Amino acid sequence: PRHQFVEEALQSRAYEDTALPIGYQQTISQPYTVAFQTQLLDVNPYEKVLEVGTGSGYQSAVLKILNADVYTIERQRDLFRHTKIFLPSIGYNCNFFYGDGYKGLPKFSPFDKIIVTCGAPTIPQDLILQLKVGGVMIAPIGEGDIQVMHLIKRLTKNQHEITTHGNFSFVPMLKKKTS
Ligand code: SAH
């Protein structure tokens, strides 16, 4: 129910295939992009999934519907506070964290899958190390307005394989400072 994830004034546009503002200069991703990333992620029930960029919580809800065990990080404090309350209130229980997604959640690693929902300038190496061997990370990589969708599969402890899956446009992944 995407209309529940946007403010009232935008609810009539909730089922358009476009990103929409969710305040704090952030957006809820375009439905096509959510579908594309979710398909690449190929989640199986009970898999442990780390999401970077909780935002509105829409992608987290999609992962919950696929029966994933969801860990999600947001660096914008007000969004974190809002979504941590909102998402369980409509029936989606995730593990919410306030912090820097670049660092991931080493304490809760390893993950079967990692999904990055903001544009990272470079591949976040710390996150690869938090994947199980055989695990997959989907991340849009690139500076500026356009990012290339990357699928990074951890093959062994020290080896990974990268494939690319077209161009997308995400809000930037912000480094270090949380707000
Ligand atoms: N998955 C969200 C998409 C929100 S847009 C949804 O379905 O609505 C991307 C989000 O990534 C924004 O909320 C932004 O604040 C957050 N973000 C940006 N840099 C981050 C970082 N370093 N760590 C965690 N979250 C970050």
pLDDT at residue number 175: 77
d(CA 15, CA 73): 26
Residue 56 falls in the annotated catalytic set: no
Spatial neighbors of 178 by CB under 8 A, at least 6 apart, are 75, 76, 77, 98, 99, 100
Mutate to test the pocket of ligand 1, among 59, 76, 176 (most ligand atoms within 8 A of CB): 76
76 lines ligand 1 (CB under 6 A): yes
The pLDDT of residue 43 is 98
- Which residue out of 100, 118, 122, 126 has the highest number of ligand 1 atoms within 8 Å of its CB and is therefore the one to mutate? 118
pLDDT of residue 177: 59
Residue 159 pLDDT more than 90? yes
pTM summary value: 0.96
**What is the model's pLDDT at position 25?**
85
pLDDT in tens, 84-111: 999 999 999 999 999 999 999 999 999 9
Q: What is the pLDDT of residues 32-82, one digit of tens each?
A: 999 999 999 999 999 999 999 999 999 999 999 999 999 999 999 999 999
Q: According to the model, what pLDDT value does residue 44 have?
A: 97
User: Residues 112-156: pLDDT tens digits?
Assistant: 999 999 999 999 999 999 999 999 999 999 999 999 999 999 999
pLDDT at 176 over 80: no
- So what's the pLDDT on residue 9? 93
> What is the Å distance from ligand 1's center to 52 Cα?
6
Locate 112 and state its tokens.
Answer: 């079967």
Which of 96, 90, 88 lies closest to 70 in space, CA to CA? 96
51 CA to centre of ligand 1 in angstroms = 9
2-11, 65-74, 154-163, 168-177: the lowest-pLDDT one: 168-177
